[in-house]
């Protein structure tokens, strides 16, 4: 049968079965279901489990795959030196009316009806949610209408950070400025005026913007 024995001159085996195995594993990982060794075996028609495992182990040895030994479906993408890939799903509250935003944020029971967004971030248990931006008040900071902002839930923020704040019954995204005991919500667009508040008035910080996303498709 078609054995594929020693090419000997074998360079790092590009464009060969081995790379196809890598591509297969990549596809399965992207689809969210890491393959078992036997699934690789079947996909390539190997008659022995070990044949698939040899390719997988070789890919690990070459650094083109990573794995957790012993664990089932343990093959992963190699982490590029950086921190581990840590993806979380957060609720997308973008279409909640402003008045209900606070309840939506604080009541996880509302989340099931929303969309979900995959974000990468620290493993910390920080609550996060996503909102859709309305208006052009932050275009100067590269935040356009329709953009999605990913917000880390917190009650306070530091000067200069971009925050989501609740002003009376409305939620708004602005840059926070703390001056002379005053709270200023500063737009990043000369056509808009800053909103100035005294502490403990009808303003409340709902979270800090940690990421901005815009889909162009």
Is 174 a catalytic site residue? yes
Distances (CA, A) of 40 to 45, 63, 74, 143: 8, 19, 13, 44
Structure tokens at 44: 């390539």
- 154 interacts with a copy of itself by CB under 8 A: no
Contact with DNA (CB under 7 A) among 15, 32, 63, 70? 70
**Partner whose binding site includes residue 195, from a copy of itself, DNA, none (CB under 5 to 8 Å by kind):** none
* 11, 15, 47, 190: residue in contact with DNA (rule CB under 7 A): 47
Binding-residue pattern over the window 10 to 49 for a copy of itself, x denoting contact by CB under 8 A: --x-xx---x--xx--xx-xxxxxx-x-------------
Q: How far is the CB of 143 from a copy of itself (least distance, A)?
A: 7
Q: Does residue 99 sit in helix, strand or coil? A: helix
Q: List the one residue from 76, 102, 134, 204 that touches a copy of itself (CB under 8 A).
A: 76
148 and 132 Cβ atoms separated by less than 8 Å:
yes
Rounded Cα distance between 107 and 191, Å, is 35
CA pair distance 102, 123, nearest whole angstrom:
24
**Which residues have a catalytic role annotated?**
137, 174
């Amino acid at each position: 049968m078609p054995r594929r024995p020693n090419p000997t001159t074998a360079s790092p085996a590009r464009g060969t079965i081995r790379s196809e195995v890598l591509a297969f594993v990549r596809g399965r990982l992207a689809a969210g279901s890491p393959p078992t060794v036997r699934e690789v075996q079947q996909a390539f028609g190997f008659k022995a489990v070990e044949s698939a495992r040899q390719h997988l182990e070789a890919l690990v040895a070459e650094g083109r795959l990573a794995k957790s030994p012993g664990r089932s479906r343990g093959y992963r993408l190699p982490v590029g030196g950086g921190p581990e890939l840590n993806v979380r799903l957060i609720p997308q509250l973008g279409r909640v009316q402003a008045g209900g935003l606070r309840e939506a944020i604080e009541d996880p029971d509302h989340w099931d009806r929303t969309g979900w967004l995959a974000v990468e971030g620290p493993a910390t248990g920080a609550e996060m949610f996503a909102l859709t931006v309305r208006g052009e008040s932050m275009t100067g900071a590269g935040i356009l209408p329709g953009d999605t902002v990913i917000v880390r839930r917190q009650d306070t923020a530091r000067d200069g950070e971009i925050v989501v704040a609740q002003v009376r019954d409305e939620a708004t995204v602005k840059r926070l400025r703390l001056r002379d005991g005053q709270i200023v919500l500063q737009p990043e667009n000369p056509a808009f005026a800053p909103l100035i508040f005294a502490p403990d008035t009808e303003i409340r910080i709902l979270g800090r913007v940690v990421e901005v996303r815009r889909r162009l498709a």
